[in-house]
Structure 1
Amino acid sequence: MTVQRTYGGISAQQRRAQRRAALLEAALEIVGTEGLAKLTVSGLCAQAGLNERYYYENFAGRDAVLAALIDGIAEELAAAIVSAVRTAPPDTRATAHAAITAGVHLLTDDPRKAKVALIAGMATPELRARTTETVRVFARMVAAEGIDFYRMSDAAPDPAIDFRAMYLVGGLVQTLTAWLHGDLDLTRDELIEHTVDVFVLLGEDLADKLT
């Protein structure tokens, strides 16, 4: 039987979770401010104030660190969007505006998160595959929300719903990436408004066709 020691009221499992969180915060700071090339084991541990053995206790390599960062940001993003939708006024534009504003703000209020999620997430084939799957997850969220909002649940499943949801989410990712690179001369509020226009247009058009 393994006995976990407790120091200062904190168990070994809690201490390990704290070290992992410190390493991830350090990775977010390094990648988000200095770039992916600066993410090394020694630099990460120095930033976190931890011995290198704690890095290997938690991660198999740099891709594992980045994957954990991407997953954590995706979870934050999903929670923010769901919360915004639940508290939005019950009309099409207000709901879309609340969801998109919550997502864009989460990624751009802390620009480090956007840099990790949208730029570092494309650094290797493995990370690109993970990012693609994350886009699919959010597309399924959009599709489910649209089906519920427009009361399309009684209609026969239509591949056009999934197509438009993937088109919207994938397009938003590419647009937001271009905006972060300075390729779109828009304020953040203008970016949000244009995105809402597209989401509402495609959502209402499809609802009219299917209901």
Structure 2
Amino acid sequence: MQTATESDGDAGPRIWGGTTLSERRQARRAALLEAALDLIGDSGASGVTMRAVCRKAGLTDRYFYESFAGRDELLDVLYRQVADEFLEPITAFAAAEDPSRARVPAEILVDKVLADPRKSRLLLVEPYSGTGFGRTTLALLPEFTRIMQDHLLGHIDDPTKRRLAAVTMASGNAGMFAAWLDGSLCAGREQIIEHCVATLTAYRSLYRC
């Protein structure tokens, strides 16, 4: 039931069923993103099409194009959204000053990877699958690499060596988690945590006299 009417000027937004037009648009956008995430969890990014997303969300293509210009934009927005969620635990892990303090952030990071397999697959597996994430991944990789440079490898004075170490660390861990998630790396949670701590220790000692 419509509880108020929308008019131009200062009359305020139209309310329908207790929500404004803007709120309904945001809800539809969120539903489309969640539907895409479900599809990625089920069959990977190759299963994400406009029609499949709309069907999953229970919306028409009209509402899809209300929020996104196309599939690529939806995937770009979704990838950035999930990457933002992982930035904090990645930063905390990289900032740990010694192995005794590295275990807790390593546990948080590993548990974050395990918490939602859909998001972890999106962030760590799909960029390597060639299904439309190349541009977005390249745009975000410098941010993850910068975290490594600033928090993990600041003791390396030579900028080239620091960059080499940061790129290797960032891409190596991403590859490790990707292999773990897709089942090609058989290891338990505790083994992954111990490896992360050992890797952190090794990189902290890199180029240190």
Under TM normalisation by the shorter chain, which class is it? 0.7 to 0.9
Quick check: 1:31–1:38 contact (8 Å CA) kept in 2? Answer: yes
Give 1:14-53 correspondences, 5 Å limit: 14-53=23-62
Question: Which residue is 2:198 aligned to?
Answer: 197
Letter in structure 2 aligned against 1:45 = C
Question: Which residue is 1:121 aligned to?
Answer: 127
Question: 1:12-62: per-residue Cα shift (whole Å, max 9, x none)?
Answer: 323222211111111101111133333222221122122221101111222
TM-score, with normalisation over the residues of structure 1?
A: 0.80
Quick check: 1:122–1:131 contact (8 Å CA) kept in 2? Answer: no
Secondary structure in 1 matching 2:206: helix
Aligned residues: 200
Gaps of 5+ in 2: 1-7
Question: Which residue is 2:169 aligned to?
Answer: 168
Question: Which residue is 1:145 aligned to?
Answer: 151
Question: Which residue is 1:68 aligned to?
Answer: 77
Question: Which residue is 1:59 aligned to?
Answer: 68
Matched, 1:187 2:180: no
Q: How much has 1:77 moved relative to structure 2?
A: 0.3
Q: How much has 1:85 moved relative to structure 2?
A: 5.5
TM-score, with normalisation over the residues of structure 2?
A: 0.81
Question: 1:128-148: per-residue Cα shift (whole Å, max 9, x none)?
Answer: 232133222111012211366
Letter in structure 1 aligned against 2:197 = V
Kindly tell me: are residues 80 and 195 of structure 1, through their superposed partners in 2, closer, same or farther at Cα, counting changes over 3 Å? closer
Distance in 2 of aligned mates of 1:8 and 1:94: 54
- Which among 130, 134, 141 is matched to residue 140 of structure 2? 134
Which deviates the most, 159-168 or 2-11? 2-11
Distance in 2 of aligned mates of 1:173 and 1:147: 18
- Which among 15, 19, 34 is matched to residue 10 of structure 1? 19
Secondary structure in 1 matching 2:184: coil
Secondary structure in 1 matching 2:205: helix
Kindly tell me: are residues 47 and 162 of structure 1, through their superposed partners in 2, closer, same or farther at Cα, counting changes over 3 Å? same
Distance in 2 of aligned mates of 1:107 and 1:49: 29
Gaps of 5+ in 1: none
Quick check: 1:121–1:127 contact (8 Å CA) kept in 2? Answer: yes
